[in-house]
Structure 1
Amino acid sequence: MTNLRRLFELSLVLASAALLVGCGHDQRPAAVAVETASEVPVLQVQAASVTDWLEAVGTVRAAVTSAVSSRVVGNVLEVRVHEGDRVRRGQVLVVIDSAQPRAALDGARAALSAARQQISAADAECGLADATFRRYQDLYSKKSLSPQEFDEVKARRQTALARRESARAAEAQAQAAVEQAQVGVNDTTLRAPFDGVVTRKTADPGALATPGSPLLVVEDTRGYRLEASVDEGEVRLVHPGQSAEVSLDALGAAALSGRVTEIVPAADPSSRTFTVKIQLPPDSRIRSGLFGRARLPRGKRQALLVPRTAVVEHGQLEAVYVIGPDRLATLRYVTLGKPSGDQVEVLSGLAAGERIVAVAGGQDLGGKRIEVQP
């Protein structure tokens, strides 16, 4: 009797369990449908050969710069230009007091006049001595004159000729003094050495000008160059004539085509860098002192490139949509490197052969099934 009761209870338990299992199958939720994104452009990531660049920063300088200074000591009377003024070659820039140089010129001219008078007197003396010599020579040939008398006349003639030569030498010396004094007068007027622009003015009227002290600085605006600093470990990769891409912040994102013209042979001991001078193309917007960046090609290397349109920005991070074997898109964060045209280098986060969405377009494709654009 007891065994029959236990068998009956066990049957009830099994029946209840079967009923619960059946009910559980009947209440299972239906599978969620995966959303599909149609006609999405997709590409396979591949390694490509890219240019490896050496990058350097520097400052724009004029290729030709002149410090305008005085060769004489004197007070500045006029400064006819200001900083930023454009000047023409030969234009008067500064006028210095010329009183002393003009006094020296007047004295030199007076000395020249006296020397010329001495020549006139010497010429007259030589003329008389020549006539006397010829007359006495005729008498001497006729034995009408003693040798001593003839020698005296000949000596007087030689003395007159010597005096004339001395007077001529004195005239030449006086002429040179006049020319030198004229240079001193001319040096009191400072002129522009070439067409350009005044970039600095250090003197005003009343200041004392001394030789070697710049009063103005003039730059030739026809040519500028970027003087960039290159690390001592990379300067061996740079050579004169090498092409360079230069970008100036003041001119926007457009790159200028430059060329290396000079590498300063001595390094800066404080920074351990060499100055590389890169000639810039003519551009009226370029000014001395602008900050610039230079890129110089130093060879080729393999890199993973993706279109910039494939990159999705999430705050400070960048990502791309990677398509798996099941055609589902997954947002994956990547580390980007240098741009290359309309593409950008991927340093980490992707592998060659993986497929990504080529144009993300700001849409949320995460978890969606991608239908490739035909």
Structure 2
Amino acid sequence: MSSLRNGRTPHAPRAVGLALLLVLGACARGPEGGRQGGPGDGGQGAVAVDVKEARRGQLRAPLTLVGTTQPVEQVAIRARVEGHLERLTVDVGDAVKEGQELGRLSTALLDAEVHQTEAGLAEARSEVASAEAGVAQAKSALEQARLALAQAQVEARRYQRLAQRGIASRQEAEQRATQARTARQAVRAASEQVRTQRSLVTAAKARVRAQSALLAASRERRSFASLRSPVDGRVMERMHSLGDVVLAGNEVLRVGDFSRVEVAVSVSELELSRVKRGQRVSVRLDAFGDTPFSGTVARVSPQADPRSRLVPVEVVLDNPEGRIGGGLLARVRLDNGGQAQLLVLESALRVDQPGTPGGLSGAQGGSGAGTGDGLPEAPPDEGRVFVVTDGTDGGGARVEERRVRLGARADKQVEILSGLREGERVVVRSERPLKPGSEVRPSALSDGPEPEGGGGGGRE
């Protein structure tokens, strides 16, 4: 009686359970009472799958980096000597040539230094001439001493013979011998004098060379008063005016070579693989609207900033007409470098793997021996995908296995180089591992319309 008061019958739970079993049995059977499914389905019905079309594109979106233009080379024209700026022939924006004189400093002090050095050189040369005259005199004295020695030796021998015969006294013979020895000493003294004079000549010539070097240095310093450009370019900045006292080392002008323009940008270490030296890139300058410019990556720094982890990169643009100036905002576009490829999700390579959500634990993406289908393991650059085809004879959609050649991978996508056509529908996720010929039922998340008959009698 209590159960009747509650509005229930004692057999209600049993009746509900029986009705549920009848519904499930009806769903599991086809129109003729058999289980629905295709070859290789194990009698489990159509497999629910996510299907995506193979489309062309690039793995990663283009990356735009912002930088500032500057001349490929800029030099500072500095004063190398102290002086007043007495002449300046150029101003900011003027075009200059290599070696052209741009200005001049006063040279009064430098001229005095040159004159003083010239006087010292003349004095050194006079010393050389005097020393050379002394050498000549010493040689003449030496020759006379040698003649006197020869005469004294002859007299000494003659008197020695006369003394032996008794014609001359022994005292006279000894006097002649003493005179010969004295003449020999005079010859040695004259020879020493010649050597001394020659050393004086050598020293005087060394002083001449030293003074010549000083004179050349003085003249070189005087030439520093002329401010010349070491490159072709344009004057970017002027730091002094006429009459200013310029110290040695002070910058007077700055000249930039604008035949090419450089853009300095910074690339994240995560994007560094997208930049290579010599790579062609597209550059746009806000000053020129939508006009594109072509640049080349000239340098990639081997050292990243330790704080920001950014790597300096320099992009160079040709600028033969000099249209591009310095300090302009530049936007450098980095893409994958090449034309778009056919792309599919990486999970499309993994739908035949049991125990994975449409995913493969291996790194290569090939089906390999782990599928148990007896096929050889795919090479690292190959894989297998399942393409959805419309069923024949009014049947449901089925899958066809394709061998594909793989390219680069990024952002959970992979390039398909061959084995697949654009627009073909590829299974990217399945509720169960697939085999060739499996009947499938595309889900609501799939691309394109659901094939006819694809949802008949299948289970979720």
Would you call these one fold, judging by a TM-score over 0.5?
yes
* Partner-residue secondary structure (3-state), 1:68: strand
- State whether structure 2 residue 114 is matched by structure 1 residue 105: yes
Distance 1:80 1:160, change over 3 A: same
Q: Distance in 1 between matches of 2:57 and 2:313?
A: 27
**Cα distance change, pair 57–138 in 1 and its aligned pair in 2 (3 A):** farther
In the alignment, the residues of structure 2 paired with residue 265 and residue 94 of structure 1 have an alpha-carbon distance, to the nearest angstrom, of 40
- Map 1:318-329 to 2 at 5 A: none
1:257 partner SS? strand
Q: Secondary structure at the match of 1:206?
A: coil
2:276 maps to 239
Partner of 1:8: none
CA positional deviation for 1:105: 0.7
The residue type equivalent to 1:110 in the other structure is A
Structure-1-length-normalised TM-score: 0.65
State which of 296, 307, 330 in structure 2 corresponds to 1:292.
330
User: Contact 1:196/1:218 (CA < 8 Å) preserved in 2?
Assistant: yes
Q: Deviations over 1:49-98 (max 9, x none)?
A: 33643331111111111100011112211222110011122222121121
Which residue is equivalent to 2:240? 203
Q: For each residue in 1:21-52, what CA deviation from the matched residue of structure 2 results, as whole angstroms up to 9, or x when unmatched?
A: xxxxxxxxxxxxxxxxxxxxxxxx86103364
Please identify, of 186-195 and 173-182, the stretch whose mean Cα deviation from structure 2 is larger: 186-195
Deviation per residue, 1:134-159 (Å, 9 max, x gap):
34334445635633211111111111
Residue of structure 2 in register with 1:114 after alignment: 123
Residue 283 of structure 1 and its aligned partner are, at CA, apart by 4.0
Query: Structure 1, residues 231-286: CA drift from partner, whole Å, max 9, x if none?
Result: 23323432322221111122232322221111234444665422211111234211
CA distance in 2, matches of 1:228, 1:132: 84
- Which one of the candidate residues 244, 252, 257 is aligned to 1:220? 257
Q: Which residue of 1 aligns with 2:194?
A: 157
Partner in structure 2 of residue 187 of structure 1: 224
1:74 counterpart residue number: 83
Alpha-carbon contact 1:46-1:353 (below 8 Å) kept: no
Structure 1 residues 242 and 232, CA gap change in structure 2 (3 angstroms): same
The answer on 1:264 being equivalent to 2:301 is yes
In structure 1, the partner of 2:56 is 48
Contact 2:145 2:183 in 1 (8 A): no
User: What SS is found at the alignment partner of 1:101?
Assistant: helix
- Does the CA contact (< 8 Å) of 1:46 and 1:352 recur in 2? no
How many Å separate the matches in 2 of 1:283 and 1:204?
Answer: 31
Residue of structure 2 in register with 1:60 after alignment: 69
Query: Partners of 1:128 and 1:274 in 2: how far apart?
Result: 79
- The one-letter code sitting in structure 2 at the alignment partner of 1:128 is Q
- Maintained 8 Å contact 1:241/1:261: yes
Alignment map for 1:9-48 (pairs within 5 Å)? 47-48=55-56
Task: Tell me which protein shows more strand as a share of its residues.
Answer: 1
State the secondary structure of the residue aligned to 2:81. coil
| Counterpart in the other structure of 1:147 | 184
Cα 1:254/1:156, change in 2 over 3 Å: same
Q: Alpha-carbon deviations, 1:286-331, whole Å to 9, x = none?
A: 1111111112234667679xxxxxxxxxxxxxxxxxxxxxxxxxxx
Q: What TM-score do you get using the length of structure 2 for normalisation?
A: 0.53
- Structure 1 contact 60–292 (Cα < 8 Å) conserved: yes
1:248 paired with 2:282, answer no
CA distance in 2, matches of 1:275, 1:228: 6
1: CA distance, partners of 2:77 / 2:214: 26
Question: Deviation string for 1:204-246 (max 9, x for gaps)?
Answer: 1122212222110001122211111212332343232222111
Query: Which of 97, 107, 114 in structure 2 is aligned with 1:88?
Result: 97
2:240 is paired with a residue of what secondary structure? coil
Instruction: Calculate the aligned-residue CA RMSD, in Å.
Output: 2.5
> For residues 104 and 352 of structure 1, do their structure 2 counterparts lie closer, same or farther at Cα, with a shift above 3 Å needed?
farther
The residue type paired with residue 292 of structure 1 is A
C-alpha distance in 2 between matches for 1:141 and 1:63:
83
- Bigger drift between 147-156 and 178-187 goes to 147-156
Give percent identity, aligned residues only: 28
Structure 2: segments with no counterpart, 5+ residues: 1-52, 154-179, 345-444, 450-460
The count of aligned residue pairs is 265
Contact residue 47 and residue 352 of structure 1 kept, 8 A: no
- The DSSP-based 3-state class of the residue aligned with 1:63 is strand
Question: How far apart, in 2, do the equivalents of 1:106 and 1:130 lie?
Answer: 36
* Distance of 1:268 and 1:208 partners within structure 2: 41
- Residue deviations 1:103-130, cap 9 Å, x none? 1111101101111111111111112222
Do 2:78 and 2:249's aligned partners in 1 also have CA atoms closer than 8 Å? yes
Deviations 1:182-204 (A, max 9, x none): 01111111111122100000111
SS of structure 1 residue aligned to 2:206: helix
Q: Which runs of 5+ in 1 are unaligned?
A: 1-44, 305-349, 355-374
Contact 1:88-1:194 within 8 A present in 2 as well? yes
CA 1:79–1:294: 2 relative to 1, 3 Å: same
